[in-house]
Amino acid sequence: MLNLRLPNFKKIYHGWYVSFAACCSELGNHCASITLLSLFVMPMVQEFGWSRTVISVPASLGSVFGAILSPFIGKLVDVYGARYILPIAAIILALSCLYMSLLQTIAAFFITYTIIRTMDQGVINSATYPTVGKWFSKYKGKATSLIMLTGAIAAAISGPVYQVIIGELGWRIAWITLALFPIVFGIVPAFLFIRKTPESMGLIIDGASPDMKPIDNFDDKRPWTVREVLGTRFFWCVFVALFMVGAAGPGITLHFAAHLAEQGVSAVVIGSTVSVFAISGAIGITIAGLLADRFNVKYLMIMGCGVATISLIILVRADSMLETFIFVSVWGFSLITVHPLIPVLWNNVFGREILGTINGISRVTLVMGLAIGPVISGFIYDLTNEYQGAFWVFMIGSFISVVLLVISGDPNKKRV
C-alpha cells in the first residue's frame, strides 16, 4: 500500500514563513503599483480633462509623505517588528482603492491616491524588506529578492488583464477589483507569520542548530551605530545614487503607456509592454537573488545601474516597436533588479541590528526620487509636448548613480 507522508512543517525554519508573509504583503500592495497606474492615465485624462502633471502630482505627494514616514517605520520594525504594521496598511489600501472607484473631483483624487502611495512607499516597502533581512544571513539575497519577484510576477499577469478590464468594464470597476489584493493577501498572512527576529522565538538565524556557528559577517566586529553609519562616505554615495534610481523608475514607467499611445500604439500592445517589463524584471530579480548571496552586492548594483543607463540610450534613439520592446526588456531587467539589492547591501555592510532604521533612512532619498520623477516627466511633456527631454534627464541621472556607487568605497575595511 502506498504510504503518503505529509511534510513536517514544524521543521521548516520560521524565517521562510516570514518571507512568505512578506511576499503576500507585496502582492497585496500591488494595487499601489505605479505600473498599474500608468494604465489608468489615459482613461482618467479623457474623462476629467486633467493634464499629465496633475495625474503625476498625487503619486509624487504620496512618495514625499512616504519618505517622511520611512525612517519612523524602519525604527518601529527594529524595535517592535512588523506584525501589526503590515495588516493595518493593507486595510487602509483596500479602503482607498474602493474610494478611487467613486472619484468625482480632483481633490478626492489627490487625497486618495496620495494615501495609497504613502502606504506603499512609506509603510509596506519600508517594513517588508528589513523584516525578512533580520531572519537571514546566508540566504538573505534569495529571501529578500522573493518579495520583489512576487510583485514582478503579479505585474506580468495583471498588465494585460487590467488593460482589458479598463477597456471593457471601465476604470472605476478596475479600482474595485484592485481593492481585493490587500484584502485577500495583505492582512491574515502578516498577522499569522510575521515575527520580529529569530531570537524573539528562541531560534538561531538561518535555522542553524545550537552547535553550529551561523554565518555572520559581524561576529568579530563591534556593531554599527546609526550615527557611525551616517558619518561614512559609503552611506552618502549610495544615498544620492538611490535618488537617481528612484526618479528614473516611475518617471518613465508612469508615462510610458501614454507615450506609446501617442505614437499610435494599440492598447493590446501597450498592455504587452507592461507584461514584458514585468517578466524581464522577474528574470532579473531571480538572477540577482541567486547572485547576491555569492558576490559583492555593490558590484551587482553597479552593473544594474549601468545596464539601465544603456537601456535609456536605446529609448532615446528608439524609432520602432522592436527597439521599444528591447528597451522595455532591458529596462525591466536592470532597474527592478536594483531595488531588492538595497536592503541586502545595507545588511552586508552594516549588519541587521539597525537594518530597519538604515533602510528607512535610505528610503527617504529613494522615495523622494520616486516623488520627483513623474513630475519631471509630466512637466517636460506639458512644456514641450513630448517626453524625449525627460528621457535624457533620466539617462544622465542613471549614469551619475553608477559613478557614485563606484567611488563609494568600503567602510568596513579599516574598522575593528
- Specify the pLDDT at position 213: 52
pLDDT value at 1 more than 50? no
Q: Is the pLDDT of residue 187 over 80?
A: yes
Q: Which residues have a Cβ under 8 Å from the Cβ of 75 and sit 6 or more positions away?
A: 356, 357, 360
Among 11-15, 20-24, 270-274, top mean pLDDT goes to 20-24
Domains (ranges, CATH) in the chain? 14-199+224-406 (1.20.1250.20)
Give yes or no for residue 7 having a pLDDT over 60.
no
Note the pLDDT of residue 108: 87
Whole-number Cα distances in Å, 416 to 138, 244, 410: 22, 32, 13
Contact 18, 194 (CB under 8 A): yes
Mean pLDDT of 232-260: 82
149 confidence band (pLDDT: 50, 70, 90): confident
44, pLDDT greater than 90 = no
HSE-CB for 391 with a 13 A CA cutoff: 18
User: Mean pLDDT lowest for which of 82-86, 125-129, 278-282?
Assistant: 278-282
In the predicted structure, residue 343 carries a pLDDT above the cut 90? no
H helices of 201-266, in order, are: 226-230, 233-262
Q: DSSP string of 306-350?
A: HHHHHHHHHHHH--SHHHHHHHHHHHHHHHHHHHHHHHHHHHHHH
**Lowest-confidence range among 232-236, 393-397, 412-416?**
412-416
Instruction: Compute the distance between CA of residue 340 and CA of residue 60 in angstroms, rounded to an integer.
Output: 21
Supply the pLDDT for residue 242. Answer: 86
**pLDDT value at residue 8:** 53
The winner for highest mean pLDDT among 77-86, 325-334, 348-357, 377-386 is 77-86
Q: For residues 223 and 352, what is the distance between their CA atoms, to the nearest angstrom? A: 9
Q: Which three cell numbers, joined as nine digits, stand for 303?
A: 552593473
Task: Over range 65-83, report the average pLDDT.
Answer: 89
- pLDDT digits 0-9 by tens, 236-247: 999 988 888 878
Q: Cell 500604439 sits at which residue? A: 265
Cα 203–chain centre separation: 29
Q: Which of these ranges, 54-68, 204-218, 300-314, has the smallest mean pLDDT?
A: 204-218
More confident call, 279 vs 128 = 128
Q: What is the pLDDT of residues 367-376, one digit of tens each?
A: 777 778 877 8
Is the predicted pLDDT of residue 267 greater than 80, yes or no? no
Question: All 3 cell numbers of residue 149?
Answer: 519577484
Q: Summarize the confidence of residues 383-404 as an average pLDDT.
A: 86
Residue 180 C-alpha cell reads as 481585493
Looking at the predicted structure, is the pLDDT value of residue 144 above 70? Answer: yes
pLDDT score recorded for residue 190: 93
Q: How far is CA 317 from CA 22, 251, 323, 333, 395, in A?
A: 39, 18, 8, 19, 12
> According to the model, what pLDDT value does residue 194 have?
93
Supply the pTM of this predicted model: 0.74
Task: Give the mean model confidence (pLDDT) for residues 67-85.
Answer: 89
Read off the pLDDT of each residue in 72-77 and give the average, rounded to a whole number. Answer: 90
Q: Please state which of the ranges 96-110, 168-182, 188-202, 304-318 shows the lowest mean pLDDT.
A: 304-318
Please give the Cα distance from 365 to 373 (Å, whole number). Answer: 12
With cut-offs at 50, 70 and 90, classify the pLDDT of residue 4: very low
| Mean pLDDT across 225-236 | 90
Average pLDDT, the chain: 82
List the Cα angle 356/362/363 in 5-degree steps.
Answer: 85
pLDDT greater at residue 272 or residue 135: 135
Quote the CA–CA distance of 28 and 10 in Å, as a whole number. Answer: 26
Do the beta carbons of residue 135 and residue 143 sit within 8 Å? yes
5 vs 317, residue with greater confidence: 317
Look up residue 85 and give its three cell numbers.
504594521
